[in-house]
Structure 1
């Protein structure tokens, strides 16, 4: 289910703060001694290149640039965490975990490396390890909606759908505009048998976000089970027009990670179609 990889703010040398994430996560690096203006300018340029490459999806180049900065400033946890994010984006999962662990070693009370390491553990289907990391984030910041949503994802991986439902609900209460937390909540409701409440939530999301392909596809499956074939087919046309991946049940089940009951409902629709 969807995740949000988060980045640190970071201060390097005499730079101003460069915004990479939530202001509460500012991490200050140790100030080196005897830095020359030329060296400062070179590092400033290197940092900006790394940031631009990261934001533009040039992950191979971004990883090389963050590594160059780390060679000069290995005690900055934000740089370790940011390189971990780039490695995770390239599916270098073990390498990303190693970077997050280094960031945690340097500053154990920063929540973002735990959050991102949890995402990496989920990629490896290490659900319990992921939950432990999300628990740590929640202990550090009990109002973090992403941590609750992600813990719900990991609980779903274990088949603990009641727990997942509660965490998705908490995430959507903490951040009412966090649409995917609300979407995950609706799917979990469907899995635990609260069908009418699930459909009501899904319909509300479709009204608010008409181009939300995930909810259009979910509504298709729900309506088909109810025998509302015309409405189901109309929503399906919209869903696959927005995102054709929903035609692939393997993707829906194993990448998007819908709950099995809803996957079965969508499978019935697709087979008839």
Structure 2
């Protein structure tokens, strides 16, 4: 009995799949090298071959978001979600994009959708905390950060965010204890050294504050830039204002 042969359509589809596999490898290599525009081109070529593959749209969205082309990234995430609404990644990344635009409620809605699909996702809880912090919902943000830590105790940035939210809520001594614990566990964690600088200076411990400050800016000089601290790192206002006062007398 003769072996069945592929139809011309099946042959074209297989060729497209093999081509896309090569393009995906090139896109991932470009992404790892930080060449996001190049990665975007490879994702676009992949989409031309397999336009109904949601992962390709989602990944092109990531490449565009990495270039701060936020609206275009959202359009790609929208298409990925249309094609496969059960996948959490496009919602998660679209939430990050909405945060870039300071559309906090839209971001929260997307993180809620992630948690509907994957209820124990610590990244979604941390990110929802970030969006709630953007909306000035500090207690709700702290609760989300705590949930992320409960799910992933080694998630250092969720612990850091929880600590900053505690400080914003006026739980100063608890926050300082947590800051000290984090610096002890992660001595190269510049974010927490800078935050401990601000908190200790506010308490009058200038010498210890300066020690942590020199370590913080030695690890990451961006903490000298208060616009970056407020707009990019997005510290809560109380701790950010304290760091600015410290820098003004430095």
Q: Do the structures match in fold with TM over 0.5?
A: yes
Does 2:177 correspond to 1:189? no
The corresponding residue for 1:162 is: 139
TM-score by length of 1: 0.86
> Is contact 2:138-2:168 (8 Å) kept?
yes
How far, CA to CA, are the matches of 1:209 and 1:187 in structure 2? 16
Which has more radius of gyration?
Answer: 2
How far is 1:48 from its partner?
1.3
How far, CA to CA, are the matches of 1:77 and 1:35 in structure 2? 20
How far, CA to CA, are the matches of 2:17 and 2:244 in structure 1? 58
> Which structure features the higher share of helix residues?
2
How far, CA to CA, are the matches of 1:69 and 1:258 in structure 2? 39
Count of aligned positions:
242
3-state DSSP class of the match of 1:198? helix
How far, CA to CA, are the matches of 2:128 and 2:13 in structure 1? 46
Deviations 1:237-256 (A, max 9, x none): 00000111111111111111
Distance 1:134 1:40, change over 3 A: closer
Identify which of 66, 69, 72 aligns with 1:95.
Answer: 72
How far, CA to CA, are the matches of 1:56 and 1:123 in structure 2? 23
Does 2:240 correspond to 1:263? yes
The corresponding residue for 2:25 is: 48
How far is 1:54 from its partner?
1.6
How far is 1:185 from its partner?
0.2
> Is contact 2:148-2:158 (8 Å) kept?
yes
Bigger RCO (CA 8 Å, 6+ sep): 1
Identify which of 179, 190, 208 aligns with 1:231.
Answer: 208
Distance 1:202 1:88, change over 3 A: same
Distance 1:105 1:195, change over 3 A: same
Does 2:186 correspond to 1:209? yes
- Structure 2 spans left out of the alignment, 5+ residues: 1-8
Give the alignment's Cα RMSD to 1 decimal: 1.4
The corresponding residue for 2:118 is: 141
- Structure 1 spans left out of the alignment, 5+ residues: 1-31
